[in-house]
Amino acid sequence: MGARYNIYFAGQLLEGQDLATVRSKLAKIFNANEQMLDKLFSGKTQLLKQDCDKATALKYKQAIEGAGAQPVIKAVAAAPVETSPVTPAMSSAEKIAALAAAPEEIRYGSSNEPAAAAAAPAQGDSTVEGVSLAPAGSDVLREDERSTPVARDIDTSGLTVDASAQRLSEESAAAPAAPDTSHLDMGEVGEMIPNLPSHDKPLSPNIDNIDLAPDGTDFSDCAAPEAAEPVLDLSELNLAPEGAELLEEEYRNKHQATAPATDHIALED
Tell me how far the alpha carbon of residue 83 is from its chain's centroid: 40
> How many residues does this entry show for the chain?
269
Contact in structure between 1 and 73 (CB atoms under 8 Å): no
Q: Distance between CA atoms of 218 and 211, rounded to whole angstroms?
A: 15
Q: Distance between CA atoms of 243 and 241, rounded to whole angstroms?
A: 6
Which of 2, 12, 6 minimizes the C-alpha distance to 95? Answer: 6
| pLDDT at position 100 | 54
Q: Give tens-digit pLDDT for 103-131.
A: 544 433 333 333 333 333 333 343 334 45
pTM: 0.31
Which of 196, 188, 68, 76 minimizes the C-alpha distance to 128? Answer: 76
Q: Distance between CA atoms of 266 and 149, rounded to whole angstroms?
A: 103
Q: Give tens-digit pLDDT for 34-43.
A: 888 888 888 8
Contact in structure between 107 and 127 (CB atoms under 8 Å): no
pLDDT higher than threshold 50 for residue 137: yes
∠ CA 14-92-121, rounded to 5°: 75
| pLDDT at position 120 | 36
Backbone angles phi and psi of 136, in degrees to 5: -60, 135
